[in-house]
A = this chain, B = another copy of it.
């Protein structure tokens, strides 16, 4: 399995709940993390909070461009609104790097959540179009931000589907999932099959509402 303990992981949108939660878990697993945000100040403020929570030093905060430049692997955990614009602005910083897109393009109305249509097929495919020199993967869509933040939950009971067309990149991202206790990275197909993984988050939200749960999935027979 790929050695990830030497990687520096950047988290764009690192002050949002999903980004913060994964940053916290990676930091506790001994991985260096850089939070990115529009404001370097807000990023550093969030990093200081996480350093205290995680009881580790290796979390810093920078503006998004400096975060992308500093990191070896970059998680994109920003709201769907602004996804394209942000990535377009970071094309140079993200060139040659492994990019992990975990964005779920969802809408909400009175009947609950639903998948938004995406011109490129999915958020991950949009990232691949916008970042032709990056190694784009898709993963971590279904991980509950609530459970990530709850350090009383020592094991995350979830499989992370990792999609992409670059085997070495998906192996590295799977190893980043495996680094978090209880989590398991499973190869989940090519990037063109990312839409349904992103959209499935709408189903998990419906399940959470019906069963008062923080649902995730496990893949059986693997």
Contacts and interface: CB of A to CB of B under 8 A. Distances in A.
B207 A214 contact: no
Interface residues of A, number: 37
Given A188-B203, A189-B202, A196-B203, A221 B210 contact: no
Interface in A72-128: 111-115
Nearest to A167: B210
Contact of A202 (B112, B196, B199, B216): B196
Contacts of A113: 193
A217 B217 contact: yes
A111 B207 contact: no
Nearest to A170: B210
A47 interface: no
Interface of A: 111-115, 157-158, 161, 163, 186-190, 192-193, 195-197, 199-200, 202-203, 206-207, 210-211, 213-222
